[in-house]
Amino acid sequence: MEPLTDSEAKALASKANELRQTIIEMLVAAGSGHTAGPLGMADIFTALYFHVLVHDPKNPEHPQRDRLVLSNGHIVPVRYAAMAHAGYFPVEECLTLRKFGSRLQGHPERVRLPGLETTSGPLGSGLSQAAGMAYAARMDASKVRIYCAMSDGEHDAGNTWEAIMFAGANKLSNLTGIIDRNNIQIDGYTESIMPLEPLREKYEAFGWHVLEVDGHNIPQFIAACDEAKAIAEKPTLIIAHTIPGKGIKEIEGDYRWHGKPPTQEEGNVFLNELRTMGGKIQSEHQ
């Protein structure tokens, strides 16, 4: 795939800002949910839905689509926002997040919303599901790729490491894992609660090809996804270093915003900050 032009990169940055605004609006309307993770992953989900994935919002069950498994289901507002802006459903529906009867539950439910590949909730199970999909795709001689978004904190769960071993042992080169390496979890910082480092070397020891990127550098992330496609005989892991709460200076890096939604007043302040940033990005297009 050709490298992004400056114009394409700026357009994706602008889209990521739109996703962040939608996330804040969703959380304020819901009165509950997770803030830090969705904001931190907005750039990556923009890259996935608007450049990387083979998918069709008008035909979400197309058999040749790429599969995206969201293991850390609590950050699903960013996926809903990306899907809505990509055309899977009206953006206005995002305001039904966590409402009774809504298709947009607090954790993704596959049977409720076309375009979701799995139902997630218990952390640590997504990579096992993705590895199974990748193994099945290889058995079918399918060219689809499987992507699995994970949190760093969920690596406290043993099931994740079973999947890491399985994927490495079976050389699942059609599988790309993406870790949101934001260094926080609900009770504090990962390295204080259950240290993960050396994370890269652990994956490499299990037979993975590992790349590390700035999770807010969209061209860099896309280049890593392209490199993953060129790796034979190994699954690829992209460790995306992100800032939780990215875009809102007041909350960036604060683990207390892991599972805390903004109030209406806070939401107004946050939206103003994001709109100001969006205006700056737009002016750079001129």
The pLDDT tens digits of the residues spanning 119-166 come to: 998 899 999 999 999 999 999 999 999 999 999 999 999 999 999 999
What is the biggest distance separating any 2 CA atoms in the chain, rounded to whole angstroms?
A: 53
Q: What is the pLDDT of residue 282?
A: 78
Question: Is residue 284 scored above 80 in pLDDT?
Answer: no
Structure tokens at 262: 């903004």
Structural domain contains residue 115: no
Structural domain contains residue 46: yes
Structural domain contains residue 77: yes
Question: Is residue 1 scored above 70 in pLDDT?
Answer: no
Structure tokens at 167: 């994927």
Residues 231, 169: contact at Cβ < 8 Å? no
Q: Mean of the per-residue pLDDT values for the chain? A: 96
Q: How confident is the model at residue 83 (pLDDT cuts 50, 70, 90)?
A: very high
Q: What is the pLDDT of residue 193?
A: 94
- Give the 3-state DSSP-derived string for 169-196, with helices as H, strands as E and coil as C: HCCCCCEEEEEEECCEECCEEHHHHCCC
Q: Phi first, then psi: what are they for 179, rounded to 5°?
A: -100, 125
Domain carrying residue 74: 6-109+121-285
Q: What is the pLDDT of residue 218?
A: 98
Question: Is residue 70 scored above 60 in pLDDT?
Answer: yes
CA distance 273 to 190: 28
Q: 33-50 pLDDT, tens per residue?
A: 999 999 999 999 999 999
Structural domain contains residue 83: yes
Number of domains in the chain: 1
Question: Is residue 264 scored above 70 in pLDDT?
Answer: yes
Residues 155, 107: contact at Cβ < 8 Å? no
Q: Domain holding 224: CATH number? A: 3.40.50.970
CA distances from 259 to 17, 25, 34, 178, 244 (A): 21, 16, 4, 21, 11
Structural domain contains residue 49: yes
Q: What is the pLDDT of residue 286?
A: 55
Structural domain contains residue 205: yes
Q: 268-277 pLDDT, tens per residue?
A: 999 999 999 9
CA distance 148 to 228: 13
Structure tokens at 49: 């839905």
Q: 208-232 pLDDT, tens per residue?
A: 999 999 999 999 999 999 999 999 9
CA distance 13 to 284: 11
Q: What is the pLDDT of residue 162?
A: 97
Q: What is the pLDDT of residue 165?
A: 98
- Pick from 3-7, 70-74, 247-251, 254-258: least confident: 3-7
Structural domain contains residue 116: no
Residues 189, 255: contact at Cβ < 8 Å? yes
Structural domain contains residue 1: no
